[in-house]
Structure 1
Amino acid sequence: MQKNKIIFIGGVPGVGKTSISGMLARKFGIDIMLSTDYLREFVRPLVNDANARDILSVSVYEAWKKFGEKSYENIIKGYLKQSDYICSGISATIDRAAKNGENLIIESLYFNEPLAETIRQKGVCAAYIYISDFTTHTKRLNERQLYTHFNSPGQRLSAQLDVYGAIMKYSEALAKKNGIDTFDNSDFQETAKKIIDSVGRFYGNDKI
């Protein structure tokens, strides 16, 4: 049985990544939990490349503007361009945790093919969370200020659900392609239980 646990929770804003990651941390006694929102803020002032600074200077829901008109293709181009920089940092963090035998949870908006390969190679337990119902997703975003993001009004993000919907569609398909379990979090308690059970099975403990 693998001694340390490295867990990756992917999903766009408002799907419950932070809440479920917190539940997993408490359930499995994991002390280190990293949100890639903070990794992005850390990287922004440090990059020397002008192109990297340019794409990382905007929110992910505006990154498509660097590629022309608003379209599914350009939304994904902008998302993947930001992901190139952030996911390399995630992969390095996973590699460090694996080498040191440390427990780690990463919750991330960003997800790409190289990161999926790292997840596979390092034996990371991964889950991708989405919400299929637009109204439910909007409600969750608008309410998140009450529970986890106290100074970040969700209305700013719910106004961008068309962009997040495109990212969610792309990332969900990528997760499935790479054998990563996906969970529709329309019912939070049910989804949380499923993910906790899934992590337990992954690490050889069915009695969760």
Structure 2
Amino acid sequence: MNSRIMFIGGVPGVGKTSISGYIARNTDIDIVLSSDYLREFLRPFAPQESHLETSVYDAWKFYGDMSDDNIIRGYLDQARPIMGGINRVIARALANGEDLIIESLYFVPDMMDEMVLKNAFLAYVYIDDPDLHRSRLEDRINYTHRNSPGSRLAAHLKEYRTIMDYSMDMARGRGIGLYSTDDYALARQRLLDDFRKFVDRR
């Protein structure tokens, strides 16, 4: 039996953690991983030029003034070791025949192995409305991140939405599905339905 693997990307506040849990519960998938923990594991070992020791919203500072280009440069520096780890984790799940969901801020399809691209269901979630995005960030302490106040992240909404726009362009270029979570209930049901269709086709 083929592995059922979902790789879902999105910046903080768009609902990827709660959606991953929803899909796991509705598909009986036991393994759900967050790239936040992979990043934490890699921090002591990652090359210095990846700048993993800093938050992604501050990584642009290694390149000078804040600009969209520098925000993306910092993001990609951090993404390289993370995406390498995600490739290895998914390859292991495929080899073992295990089901797996990974949710990740770092979502760079061009850094993914072809085997992963062919065998995993990839999706990117986003929020169209910036005000709603800010509100969701500030509210997430009540749901999934009880000791991580979203107000700290909301202060960096510009950086996150720059990363979001870049990642959405990358996803479009690869034909990867984009799911707006402005209507959260609709988005998670669409994702669940599309994931099931993907699994049924394999």
**Under TM normalisation by the shorter chain, which class is it?**
over 0.9
Q: Is 1:188–2:187 an aligned residue pair? A: no
- Cα distance 1:116–1:179, how it changes in 2: closer, same or farther (>3 A)? farther
Q: Is 1:200–2:196 an aligned residue pair? A: yes
What is the root-mean-square deviation of aligned Cα atoms in Å? Answer: 1.3
TM-score (norm. length: structure 1):
0.93
Amino acid at match of 1:204: D
The whole-number CA distance in structure 2 between the counterparts of 1:23 and 1:132 is 22
- The answer (yes or no) to whether the contact 1:142–1:153 under 8 Å persists in 2 is yes
Match in the other structure for 1:179: 175
Structure 1 unaligned spans of 5+: none
Match in the other structure for 1:37: 36
| Runs of 4+ off more than 4 Å | none
Alignment of 1:74-89 (within 5 A): 74-89=70-85
Match in the other structure for 1:63: 59
Match in the other structure for 1:111: 107
Shift of 1:4: 1.9
- The answer (yes or no) to whether the contact 2:9–2:105 under 8 Å persists in 1 is yes
TM-score (norm. length: structure 2):
0.95
1:53-88 CA distance string (max 9 Å, x none) = xx1110000000011110000000000010011100
Shift of 1:195: 0.5
- The answer (yes or no) to whether the contact 1:119–1:126 under 8 Å persists in 2 is no
1:111-137 CA distance string (max 9 Å, x none) = 22122745323x101110000100110
Amino acid at match of 1:43: L
The whole-number CA distance in structure 2 between the counterparts of 1:177 and 1:171 is 10
Structure 2 unaligned spans of 5+: none
User: Residue 178 of structure 2: SS of its match in structure 1?
Assistant: strand
Number of aligned residue pairs: 200
The whole-number CA distance in structure 2 between the counterparts of 1:22 and 1:92 is 22
User: Residue 200 of structure 2: SS of its match in structure 1?
Assistant: coil
Match in the other structure for 1:51: 49
> Which of the residues 159, 162, 172 maps onto 2:155?
159
Match in the other structure for 1:72: 68
- The answer (yes or no) to whether the contact 1:8–1:125 under 8 Å persists in 2 is yes
> Which of the residues 117, 129, 135 maps onto 1:120?
117
